[in-house]
Structure 1
Amino acid sequence: MTDIRTAFPTVSSRLVTTPRYAAQVFERAAGTGDEASAPTVVFVHGNVSSSLFFLPLMSALPTAVRALAVDLRGFGGSETLPVDASRGIRDFSDDVASVLDALEIGAAHLVGWSMGGGVIMQLLLDRPELVASLTLESTVSPYGFGGTALDGSLLSDDGAGTGGGGVNPDFVARLAAGDRTDEAGTSPLAVYRSSYVAPGFVSEFEGLWVESMLTTAIGDDNYPGTSTASEHWPGFAPGVSGVLNTMAPTVFDTSAIVDVEPKPPVLWIHGALDAIVGDASFFDFNQLGAAGIVPGWPGVDVAPPQPMLAQTRALLERYAERGGAFTELALEGCGHSPHLERPDEFRAALLAIIG
């Protein structure tokens, strides 16, 4: 396995204890030695991952920039604590805020990948003074994952088809067992290759990314979380605890960022071949139903796939109409991980928004 100390010698790690949790934080210090005056970028990872995914990008940033990455609770080297999904994504966003407070960072340039995009949008709502800019990478929709129409309205009152019941149980079992093989399509390595990156992408750090995925804490209080029965297709609805339920549309809605003042600049960067976040995502149960993979789909009038990209674009256009500024960078041939697949373009766009 990759030795991160030799592969990324400029990045160090430490455990930061806050009133909320003990967080593993990676840091690539500014080369000036003056951390107080250097612009600070803080990376927030997504679901079934950790800050390890950001080490190459952190190492490649100019030395005038200070870069940190925070492991969320139940991921990476951070403390495993229950995730209260009745609060939406706030257990995670409050945790990140507690790290920024503990390190006395103040306003930082926040980068959120996938679920991490939802975390930093929520942080902007609750602690706007901590946000200098937002970079939303392959972000979850502002209305959560699954179960909503274009305007964010619920397709069913209980969010049927979303939350902790929507994950393949064999994938969860293989995570819990520490499966490092590619013997099945549900093996973490196979899922990484098929979903995290575009087909054909090759990385020398592939084994490290699998190790990152395997740090995910498994259980009802963590990943994937609980579920409840539903009278609506496909028969399950979100539970009240665990990671996937934090993004259920019944509890997750960050669309109020359009009213935040002042409005920090926003960069939205995503890949055209993203298998996870898209207007026809096969991680969306309604899309699986429409494709005939899950039987009994009630049709597009009742259970249309979530238009995730269209929702994010419409929200950011409203953000701009109300005085904000955003840039969209859509990368052809790129999957769910632009910072891995197209690092030069990602880094240039990030430095542009930092200014």
Structure 2
Amino acid sequence: MRVTTSRLVQNVLTTGNDQGEPVVFVHGNVSSAAFWRDTMATLPERYRPLAPDLRGFGQTDPEPVDATRGLRDYSDDLLALLDALGLERVHLVGWSMGGGVVLQALRDRPSVVASVTLVNPVSPYGYSGTEGAEGRLTHQDGTGSGAGAANPDFVARLQGGDRGDEAPTSPRSVFRSSYVAKPVADEDFYVESMLTTRVGPAHYPGDAVSSDAWPGVRPGVSGVLNALAPTHFRLDDLHELEVKPPILWIRGADDVIVSDTSLFDLAHLGALGVVPGSPGTAAQPMVTQTRAVLERYGPYTEVVLPECGHSPHLEYPAEFQQALQAHLSR
């Protein structure tokens, strides 16, 4: 359905059930609400599942992303959607970048949140450019993160609608190698969802900015990857909230996107010799950082699925549903 909010017109995937406790599913980067289709369909009728396309993805208005606000363009859109639908209290489920979006919504309006489920979420200290459990900036300007870290061939193939698997940088190949650790059904469906991503300086990956320091890139001011940069997105005060709904953190043990040794982190790629010239910059310990923030926060549960990649809801749907429903019914 299409929902006009105070900020933009959003496309929202539903199951047709408009009764019950609202559960809002937020997708990640280079995807859309379609990635939640099967999860929503198997949710008990006591819940009302809703999954919006974020701006620049799916069929929602492609408004530009102001990266200097971190993920707040997305989280403010989400809160505006809740207002437009008259939803006063909801369960939030966020995958990958969507995990950061729901945590930002929790940070800004905790009273509306009944529970939070994080699925392989981005670190609360952004993506790349930080070190240690405390998320210490490697460089004050965020060098090592931002739109310049994106693989240009992947960006070109995404923009060109490449549906093949001949190149390792095609969306289909990236889905197979990075989104999941094992084959899943309906691969074509998910590739089509990836291809709805708007490409350009205002969207994915954003405006690329060079740096004199290794690895030669730093965050710009617009677009997705810059919004994820640690100079723009940082959540280290969640433990100060007076209202603390319970958090479920469910992740795949073999995730290569969000990991303490991420294959998308230039610092780790430098350590592997894939990006030459590394001065020894430490990899971002993304999982360790998330755990440190949640331990300070308080009421959270961590569930780790073995032999699972970045998408537990696709790879192990039964186990994911079991954990999610137990959490929602607390």
The TM-score with structure 1 as length reference comes to: 0.91
Structure 1: how far apart are the matches of 2:185 and 2:141? 43
- 1:294 is aligned to 275
Structure 1: how far apart are the matches of 2:169 and 2:201? 20
- 1:3 is aligned to none
> Deviations 1:253-277 (Å, cap 9, x if unpaired)?
1121111121000000100110100
For these two proteins, the number of residue pairs brought into alignment is: 328
Structure 2: how far apart are the matches of 1:219 and 1:268? 32
Unaligned runs of 5+ in 1: 1-13
Shift of 1:174: 0.5
- 1:346 correspondence with 2:320: yes
Structure 2: how far apart are the matches of 1:204 and 1:330? 22
Which of 176, 181, 185 does residue 193 from structure 1 map onto? Answer: 176
Structure 2: how far apart are the matches of 1:339 and 1:259? 30
- 1:47 is aligned to 29
Structure 2: how far apart are the matches of 1:330 and 1:166? 28
Q: 2:111·2:243 contact (CA, 8 Å) conserved in 1?
A: no
Query: Which stretch of structure 1 is more off in the superposition, 206-215 or 57-66?
Result: 57-66
- 1:318 is aligned to 296
CA RMSD in angstroms comes to 0.9
Q: Runs in 1 of length 4+ with deviation above 4 angstroms?
A: none
Unaligned runs of 5+ in 2: none
> Deviations 1:194-234 (Å, cap 9, x if unpaired)?
00000xx2223100100000000000000000122212111
Q: 1:43·1:112 contact (CA, 8 Å) conserved in 2?
A: yes
| One-letter code aligned to 2:242 | E
Structure 1: how far apart are the matches of 2:3 and 2:144? 37
- 1:26 is aligned to 13
Within 5 Å, give how 1:132-211 maps onto structure 2: 132-150=114-132, 151-198=134-181, 201-211=182-192
Shift of 1:29: 4.0
Q: 1:29·1:65 contact (CA, 8 Å) conserved in 2?
A: no
| One-letter code aligned to 1:244 | L
- 2:303 is aligned to 329
- 1:11 is aligned to none
| One-letter code aligned to 1:24 | N
The TM-score with structure 2 as length reference comes to: 0.98
- 1:85 correspondence with 2:54: no
Which of 218, 225, 230 does residue 211 from structure 2 map onto? Answer: 230
Structure 1: how far apart are the matches of 2:216 and 2:140? 13
Structure 1: how far apart are the matches of 2:325 and 2:217? 43
Which of 283, 296, 303 does residue 305 from structure 1 map onto? Answer: 283
Structure 1: how far apart are the matches of 2:274 and 2:103? 33
| One-letter code aligned to 1:304 | A
- 2:250 is aligned to 269
Which of 28, 37, 54 does residue 72 from structure 1 map onto? Answer: 54
> Helix, strand or coil: the match of 1:56?
helix
Q: 2:148·2:210 contact (CA, 8 Å) conserved in 1?
A: no
Shift of 1:189: 0.3
- 1:258 is aligned to 239
